[in-house]
Structure 1
Amino acid sequence: MGDNRAAFERFCELFYTERRVADAFAFLVADDYRQHNPSIVDGPAAAIEMLTPKFDGSPDARFDIQRILVDGDLAMVHVKASRPGAPDAAVADIYRFDGGRIVEHWDVLQQVPVHAAHDHPMF
């Protein structure tokens, strides 16, 4: 489990903070990567093609990691996504490991509201 945590933290640094999508995928994602996002087909190449413009291609975008959770073969990162021209979003990306590589991904996204019922929404 400790190995998954260290590897996942490095993956998150490459992917979300440094926005080096292809490098992050080459580092940790398996060739038989299964994607549960309904707008991206399976396999790392499709994810890299779809996500690179959102990450590498947007110099003013920010993806601030709020927390990382790792439990055995499952890992989750909670991110505040900020991109020019779009409302901020809360993102939870969930990954499954097998053999030390990421083999599966789910995501949950929610727009940050303009007005909240309290002073501590989303993050």
Structure 2
Amino acid sequence: MTSPTQQNRQLVLDAFDTLFGKRDYTAAAEFWAADYVQHSRHIPPGREGLFGLIRSLPDTLRYENQLAVADGDYVMLFGRYSGTGTPAAVVADVVRIEDGRLVEHWDVWEDEATRGESAADAPMFGAHFPTPG
């Protein structure tokens, strides 16, 4: 039997795959609440602000998830956004769930460092540094 917390974790993973992976805006609208609240400095307000941003990005946009942690109605994803023509970003996304929909979002966003940029000489995401350029 799956707990509500585990269901929320899977809901957010499915929502991100639907929007960022499949770019299926009709299906994504079923995951994001109509009155979705956005707290990110990178994303315009509301569900339509998020969808509009994704529509404006190249089809090469890719989201890779490395970790998903849930605590009740909150889910945190640790992942990488790449393929936009800018440096890849390593991001912690925090989403609040209510009535089976994503209703609120916060993020912490950092450009991914190459080996030459890393003082720690350790990749920020996964086991390998990104390829420069």
TM-score for both structures, normalised by structure 1: 0.81
Q: Secondary structure at the match of 2:30?
A: helix
- Over aligned residues, Cα RMSD in angstroms? 2.1
Q: Which runs of 5+ in 2 are unaligned?
A: 126-133
SS of the counterpart of 2:124? coil
User: What is the identity, as a one-letter code, of the residue corresponding to 2:124?
Assistant: M
Of 3, 7, 12 in structure 2, the residue corresponding to residue 8 of structure 1 is 12
1:28 is aligned to 2:31: yes
Could you list the runs of 5+ residues in structure 1 that have no partner in the other structure? none
The secondary structure found in structure 1 opposite 2:60 is: coil
| Rounded Cα–Cα distance in structure 1 between residues aligned with 2:94 and 2:6 | 17
Q: CA deviation at 1:86?
A: 1.2
Percent of aligned pairs sharing the same letter: 33
Between structure 1 and structure 2, the one with the greater Rg is: 2
Is 1:109 the counterpart of 2:109? The answer is yes
TM-fit CA distance, 1:21:
5.4
Contact 1:73 1:97 in 2 (8 A): yes
CA apart distance, 1:88: 1.6
Give the direction of change, closer, same or farther, for the CA distance of 1:77–1:21 in structure 2 (3 Å limit).
farther
SS for the counterpart of 1:27 is coil
* Alpha-carbon distance in structure 2 between the residues aligned to 1:77 and 1:30: 19
SS in 2 for 1:104: strand
| 1:1-123 matched pairs, under 5 angstroms | 1-18=5-22, 20=23, 22-23=25-26, 25-38=28-41, 40-54=43-57, 58-114=58-114, 115-123=117-125
Report deviation, 1:39. 5.0
